[in-house]
Structure 1
Amino acid sequence: MNAIPKTPPLLQLARLQVRQGDLLEARATTTECLVTFNKEAELPLWFEAARIHLQANIELENVGGADVVMNEVLQLLSAKNLSAANEAKAETMLGSWLRAQGKTEESQAYIDSAITKATGARDLETLARALLFSAFSLLLEPKKHNHTLLTLDKVDVLLSEAENTELTLTSLLLRGYIYTQSVQFDRAMDVLWRGYELAKQHGFQLLISSILAQMARVYRDQKRDEQYRIYAELAIKGVSPIKSPRLYKFITQVCPHDLDSLRSQYDFQVDEKSRLVLEKTKGVINFKNQHILLDMALLFIKNPGQRYSKEDLVEKIWGQAYNPELHDNLIYVSIKRLRTLLEPDLESPRYILRDRKGYFFNPQATVQMKYLEEATL
Structure 2
Amino acid sequence: MMNDNLEMNIRPTEAETSIAFYEFNDQYIPTEDSLSKREIGRSFYQLGKLHYDKSDLDAAEENFLKSLKCAERPRDIFSIFKILGFLIRISSEKLDDEKATAYIAHAEELVDDLTKVLGSLNSEYFYNVGIVKNYGGNFQEAFENFQFAYKKSKEENEPDILAKTLLALSNNCYNRKDYKGALDYLGQLNQLLAIIKKDYLSGAMYLFSAKVYLEVEDFENSLKFFKLANETLQTKKCWNLFGYILLGKGNVYKNMGDFDRALEYFKLASESNDPSVFRRLSNLLNTEIEEVNDSSVDLYLDRNNRKIKERTLGTIDFKHRFVLLEILFLLAKNPGEYYDKEQLAKSIWKDEYNPLIHDKLIYTSVSRLRKLIEPKAAKAEKRKYIIRGKDGYTFNPSAKIRFHMETKNVDDKTIANVELSSPV
Give the structure-1-normalised TM-score: 0.60
Which is further off, 241-250 or 28-37? 241-250
Q: What is the Cα deviation at residue 229 of structure 1?
A: 1.2
Mapped partners of 1:67, 1:141: distance in 2: 20
Name 2:253's counterpart in structure 1.
219
Instruction: Give the alignment partner of residue 161 of structure 2, picking from 109, 126, 132.
Output: 126
Q: What is the Cα deviation at residue 215 of structure 1?
A: 0.6
Name 2:140's counterpart in structure 1.
105
CA, structure 1 residues 102+147, in 2 after alignment: closer, same or farther (shift >3 Å)?
Answer: closer
Where does the alignment leave 5 or more consecutive residues of structure 2 unmatched?
8-16, 20-41, 297-424
Mapped partners of 1:180, 1:46: distance in 2: 34
Does residue 170 of structure 1 match 2:204? yes
Does residue 187 of structure 1 match 2:221? yes
Q: What is the Cα deviation at residue 27 of structure 1?
A: 2.4
Q: Deviations over 1:295-349 (max 9, x none)?
A: xxxxxxxxxxxxxxxxxxxxxxxxxxxxxxxxxxxxxxxxxxxxxxxxxxxxxxx
Secondary structure of 1:152's aligned partner: helix
Is the CA contact (8 Å cut-off) linking 2:250 and 2:261 kept in structure 1? yes
CA, structure 1 residues 51+141, in 2 after alignment: closer, same or farther (shift >3 Å)?
Answer: closer
Is the CA contact (8 Å cut-off) linking 1:128 and 1:158 kept in structure 2? yes
Is the CA contact (8 Å cut-off) linking 1:132 and 1:155 kept in structure 2? yes
Q: What is the Cα deviation at residue 156 of structure 1?
A: 1.5
CA, structure 1 residues 177+46, in 2 after alignment: closer, same or farther (shift >3 Å)?
Answer: closer
Q: Which amino acid aligns with 1:105?
A: Q
Q: What is the Cα deviation at residue 68 of structure 1?
A: 5.4
CA, structure 1 residues 198+134, in 2 after alignment: closer, same or farther (shift >3 Å)?
Answer: same
Is the CA contact (8 Å cut-off) linking 2:202 and 2:232 kept in structure 1? no
Instruction: Give the alignment partner of residue 161 of structure 1, picking from 184, 195, 200.
Output: 195
Name 1:64's counterpart in structure 2.
101
Is the CA contact (8 Å cut-off) linking 1:206 and 1:238 kept in structure 2? no
CA, structure 1 residues 101+42, in 2 after alignment: closer, same or farther (shift >3 Å)?
Answer: closer
Secondary structure of 1:139's aligned partner: helix
Name 1:137's counterpart in structure 2.
172
CA, structure 1 residues 257+207, in 2 after alignment: closer, same or farther (shift >3 Å)?
Answer: same
Secondary structure of 2:194's aligned partner: helix
Name 2:46's counterpart in structure 1.
12
Is the CA contact (8 Å cut-off) linking 2:153 and 2:159 kept in structure 1? yes
Name 1:268's counterpart in structure 2.
none
Where does the alignment leave 5 or more consecutive residues of structure 1 unmatched?
264-377
Is the CA contact (8 Å cut-off) linking 2:52 and 2:60 kept in structure 1? yes
Instruction: Give the alignment partner of residue 114 of structure 2, picking from 60, 68, 77.
Output: 77
Which is further off, 1-10 or 118-127? 1-10
Q: Which amino acid aligns with 1:110?
A: N
CA, structure 1 residues 75+26, in 2 after alignment: closer, same or farther (shift >3 Å)?
Answer: farther
- Identical aligned residues as a percent: 16
Is the CA contact (8 Å cut-off) linking 1:58 and 1:100 kept in structure 2? no
Q: What is the Cα deviation at residue 72 of structure 1?
A: 4.6
Secondary structure of 1:203's aligned partner: coil
Q: What is the Cα deviation at residue 12 of structure 1?
A: 1.2
Mapped partners of 1:92, 1:259: distance in 2: 40
Q: Deviations over 1:153-200 (max 9, x none)?
A: 111122233333222122111211222233322222111111112222
> How many pairs were matched up?
259
Does residue 34 of structure 1 match 2:71? no
Secondary structure of 2:142's aligned partner: helix
Cα RMSD, aligned residues only: 3.0
CA, structure 1 residues 99+40, in 2 after alignment: closer, same or farther (shift >3 Å)?
Answer: closer
Q: Which amino acid aligns with 2:101?
A: G
Mapped partners of 1:156, 1:192: distance in 2: 15
Mapped partners of 1:75, 1:115: distance in 2: 21
Mapped partners of 2:128, 2:55: distance in 1: 20
Give the structure-2-normalised TM-score: 0.54
Mapped partners of 2:84, 2:175: distance in 1: 28
Is the CA contact (8 Å cut-off) linking 1:17 and 1:23 kept in structure 2? yes
Does residue 54 of structure 1 match 2:91? no
Q: What is the Cα deviation at residue 248 of structure 1?
A: 3.4
Which is further off, 21-30 or 146-155? 21-30
Mapped partners of 1:242, 1:38: distance in 2: 33
Mapped partners of 1:250, 1:138: distance in 2: 22
Is the CA contact (8 Å cut-off) linking 2:139 and 2:175 kept in structure 1? no
Does residue 257 of structure 1 match 2:287? no
Is the CA contact (8 Å cut-off) linking 1:91 and 1:113 kept in structure 2? yes
